[in-house]
Chains A and B, each alone.
Chain A
Amino acid sequence: MQTKRPPFWQREKYTPYLLLLPAILTILFVVLLPLIFSFYTSFTGYRLIRPESLWQWVGLRNYERIFGDDDFWAAFVRTIVFLTIALNLEFLLGLGIALLINKITWGQRTLRTIMMFPMMFSPILVGYQFKFVFNDNIGILNNALESLGLSDGAIPWLVDTYLANFAIIFAEVWMSTSVFAILLLAGLFAMPRDPIEAAKVDGCNAWQVFRHITLPFLMPFVFIAMTIRSLDVARAYDIVDVMTGGGPAGRTELLWTLIARTGYDNARMGQANAMGYISIILSIAFTYYFFTKLIASRRYMGGAD
């Protein structure tokens, strides 16, 4: 007698896919469909206030406009500069904090918790907080500087091109340095003590131990933090929008404030989506770069103990 094959949903080969199906469907509906939809709209003259414009196919015109748009490229370059400065500052400060906290034994847990406070605030609130710190009339910073006799006039922290960008980077660094500090501290905790002692006996001074032993060991952790943070910073929106709104006159405009303005304020959703796709390529480029670095730095870390 020939045994009948069970129906395909009962065969072992398909079980994993069957179990994953709800997740796959969810991702399909909430991620993939919107992605495809927005990709389509980037080839139309879609405006939120005129739904019928969704069918108005304009080909590559949105992309042509963007590539010829100086404001877009200014925001693009500013985003890269912003990202580079913020990530490097956060890395250096985070590393310093992690190394210091790693040294102390008493109160380490408390400090670790305190260090995470900035991460617990909503970015919007951080933005408001620093908006008031840097406000030229009522801001605490200008008040302090004047009381101490360090300046005699109101410094336009959020108006001047350089000062405004500095202020935003300051807020960003204040909020996110602890991400680096925590990840690097985890790295320091995981670090074996023996190679460090071996290096000391081998003739290294404190700096050389750090440079040749500790830092190479920490690099995988650095790159993990860099990957996460580069994605975060590349889509920076909330802090900037609250503190300066991208202004004045576009001096602090980053990609996502520009995209939001184009899509919602100017209602040009098709063009905004085209910008979104270009900025996604930027994020992918950064992620790819840090991932390559991460894999390279992790190659030798296995089996060292």
Chain B
Amino acid sequence: MAEITLDKVVKRYGKLEVVHGIDLKIAHNEFVVLVGPSGCGKSTTLRMIAGLEDISDGAIRIGGDVVNDLPPRKRNISMVFQNYALYPHMSVRENLGFGLKIAKQDPKMIEERVAEAAETLGLDALLDRTPAELSGGQRQRVAMGRAIVRHPEAFLFDEPLSNLDAKLRVQMRTEIKKLHQKVKTTVVYVTHDQVEAMTLADRIVIMRDGNIEQVGTPMEVFDHPLNTFVASFIGSPPMNLLPATVRGGAVHFTDGKSLPVPSRLAGKVRDGQEVTFGLRPDDLTPQGHGIAEGGERAQMELEVILSEPLGTETILYTTIAGQEAQGKMYGPRPVSPGERLVFDVALEKAHLFDAATGRSVAAD
């Protein structure tokens, strides 16, 4: 049980710098998810916390002590790997107890801890099998069991669900969340899947190209993305990002359409500023088919190009500023391509980003 601090941590491979001095403070018992596209440095960061990669510059502290030069075994952390990384020649029981055996713990205590972990994860019936005799989900549970028996200071998860099929992934996601509620410990979890990040995290750390783009609770990063990257990465379907120019208190798109500048952002933009207008599909709804009525609204008549019914809602594809944009229709009715509908734009939820820097104008 400990807090983990990253202080200007840099990772270089030869001349190539892949992590550019990131700062991060992870609180005691917090569940933090590092998320980003592949190659963003999230796994490298996790492996530096684990001690599997050297830290080129900066410092990592676990529970207040600088651990830069400590080997993994002295950091008292557990890690769950993408490929489970079970020991193939050992039974499930031996796999679970291996860390404790290496630490020369009392065999009786090992047995108790293994039994406790097996019960937590529902592995009792599998203890005498070998990894080769287990399914993917079972292997992942053993890998998690191996992590919890040692009662470590922190759990590190490296894309633990990416090898499972879609259904099992959702199920294991719930189990990980339950596990964290049962076994209160600091968790650092790496994934490229923003849904996993949103559902699991106390706080999300969004990374790109070796930098941290934004840190916040799932709702913070969803409702107040700091830049266009975060805006497009978090949320599914992704936020519409449309190029526009601010003129006379209105946002003018290149195709002649325009919308008023949202009132909360009125003082933040200047005339003639090139911006990116961000609007989630949930906030672009045909009249009468939105979720919440009222609030700051504007209307736009748009032509529907394509519709994708999902049951409770239908995704509508349309064109704004020469770009494809998506809207959502709640309580859907059939829509045929080419149909022109009047859409409600929920302006209080719209975002404006500076076109040059990509930063949210609300942040400055």
Contacts and interface: CB of A to CB of B under 8 A. Distances in A.
Interface of A: 192, 194-195, 197-205, 208, 212-213, 216-217, 297, 300-305
B85 A204 contact: no
Ranked nearest first, the 9 interchain pairs of A and B with the lowest CB-CB distance are: A304-B88, A194-B85, A303-B132, A202-B99, A198-B85, A203-B73, A200-B72, A216-B89, A300-B89
Interface string B99-111: 1001100000000
A202 B146 CA distance: 9
A305 B52 contact: no
B217 interface: no
A192 B88 CA distance: 11
Nearest to A196: B85
Interface stretch (B21-29, B74-82, B294-302): B74-82
Contacts of A202: 73, 78, 98-99, 102, 146, 150
Contact of A304 (B73, B86, B146, B150): B86
A208 B52 CA distance: 16
11 contacts: A197-B81, A198-B87, A200-B71, A201-B73, A201-B77, A203-B102, A212-B87, A300-B88, A300-B90, A302-B132, A304-B86
Given A197-B81, A300-B130, A300-B132, A205 B87 contact: no
Given A198-B81, A201-B79, A301 B89 contact: yes
A212 B89 CA distance: 9
B314 interface: no
A208 B102 contact: yes
A125 to B, nearest CB: 42
Given A204-B73, A217-B89, A300-B132, A198 B102 contact: no
Given A197-B72, A201-B77, A300-B90, 20 more contacts: A194-B81, A197-B79, A197-B85, A198-B85, A198-B86, A198-B87, A201-B51, A201-B72, A202-B150, A203-B102, A204-B73, A205-B73, A297-B89, A300-B130, A300-B131, A300-B132, A301-B132, A303-B131, A303-B132, A304-B131
B83 interface: yes
A195 B88 contact: yes
B188 interface: no
Interface of B: 50-52, 71-73, 77-79, 81-90, 98-99, 102-103, 130-133, 146, 150, 156
A305 B85 CA distance: 7
B186 to A, nearest CB: 15
A301 B87 CA distance: 9
Contact of B87 (A195, A201, A302): A195
A199 B85 CA distance: 9
A273 to B, nearest CB: 44
A305 B83 contact: yes
A213 B87 contact: yes
Contacts of B73: 200-205
Contacts of B85: 192, 194-195, 197-198
Nearest to A202: B99
Most central of A199, A202, A300, A305 by chain B CB within 10 Å? A202
A195 B103 CA distance: 17
Contacts of B90: 300
Contact of A217 (B82, B86, B88, B99): B88
A85 to B, nearest CB: 28
Contacts of A198: 79, 81, 85-87, 146
A201 to B, nearest CB: 5
Contacts of B86: 195, 198, 304
B41 to A, nearest CB: 18
Contact of A197 (B52, B88, B150): B52
Contacts of A197: 50, 52, 72, 79, 81, 85
A158 to B, nearest CB: 45
Nearest to B85: A194
B44 to A, nearest CB: 13
Contacts of A305: 83
Nearest to B152: A201
A204 B74 CA distance: 9
B52 A200 contact: yes
Contacts of B102: 202-204, 208, 212
A187 B119 CA distance: 36
Contacts of B78: 201-202
Nearest to B52: A197
A116 B124 CA distance: 50
B136 to A, nearest CB: 10
A297 B50 CA distance: 31
Nearest to B103: A203
B219 to A, nearest CB: 33
Contacts of A212: 87, 98, 102
Contacts of B79: 197-198, 201
Nearest to B74: A203
A301 B150 contact: no
Nearest to B134: A303
A53 to B, nearest CB: 57
Contacts of A199: 87, 98
Contacts of B130: 300
B53 to A, nearest CB: 10
B132 to A, nearest CB: 4
A192 B131 CA distance: 14
A305 B87 CA distance: 10
B72 A194 contact: no
Contacts of B89: 216-217, 297, 300-301
A217 B131 CA distance: 14
A197 B52 CA distance: 7
